[in-house]
Amino acid sequence: MMSGKVLVLHGPNLNLLGTREPEIYGHETLADIDNALREHAVLEGWELASRQSNHEGELIDAIHAARLDGTVAIIINPAAYTHTSVAILDALNAFDGTVIEVHLSNVHKRESFRHHSYVSLRADGVIAGLGSQGYHAALDAVIRKG
Ligand SMILES: O=C(O)[C@]1(O)C=C(c2cccc(Sc3ccccc3)c2)[C@@H](O)[C@H](O)C1
């Protein structure tokens, strides 16, 4: 059974998940999501690290660290930085592994400014609108790719 190391990155305000707008983002907290993802990875013999930050530079630093620590895939929900950050795109372009972009909501059914993603220019796959199951679908894809 192949195994590897996956990094899950959550962008700004996702630390507030579960507190507001459950009709858009669900009722789970970020801790609920991270705990379920870690259990999913361990059951498959994979290692999973997760990080949430409200600061663009911290997310970029985490991507840079992943280049050097054996991480084979990054699953990222950039939140609002999806639509604004060339800097995060540039950092992801310097990462040679698999990149999967995840959004809890279907951004294409929302405000027009959410329809564009800089990160999608690098992402190997994009999953949107499946809630927290989107993270698990991304992890399954990474594990199947090996
Ligand atoms: O759907 C997503 O996961 C998304 O990446 C997440 C976003 C987002 C935006 C604001 C807050 C939150 S998390 C949250 C939810 C409810 C209350 C407080 C914070 C996520 C949006 O910026 C993006 O356009 C879409």
Q: Is 118 a catalytic residue?
A: no
103 C-alpha to ligand 1 centroid (Å): 8
10 C-alpha to ligand 1 centroid (Å): 10
pTM of this prediction exceeds 0.80? yes
Q: What residues in the chain have per-residue pLDDT under 50?
A: none
In order, the DSSP letters of the chain are: ----EEEEEE-TTGGGTTSS-HHHH-S--HHHHHHHHHHHHHHTT-EEEEEE-S-HHHHHHHHHHHHHTTEEEEEEE-GGGGGT-HHHHHHHHT--SEEEEEESS-GGGS-GGGG--SGGGT-SEEEESSTTHHHHHHHHHHHHH-
What confidence score (pLDDT) does residue 146 get? 83
Condensed to tens digits (0 to 9), the pLDDT of residues 126-135 reads: 999 999 999 9
Report whether residue 25 contacts ligand 1, using a CB cutoff of 6 Å.
yes
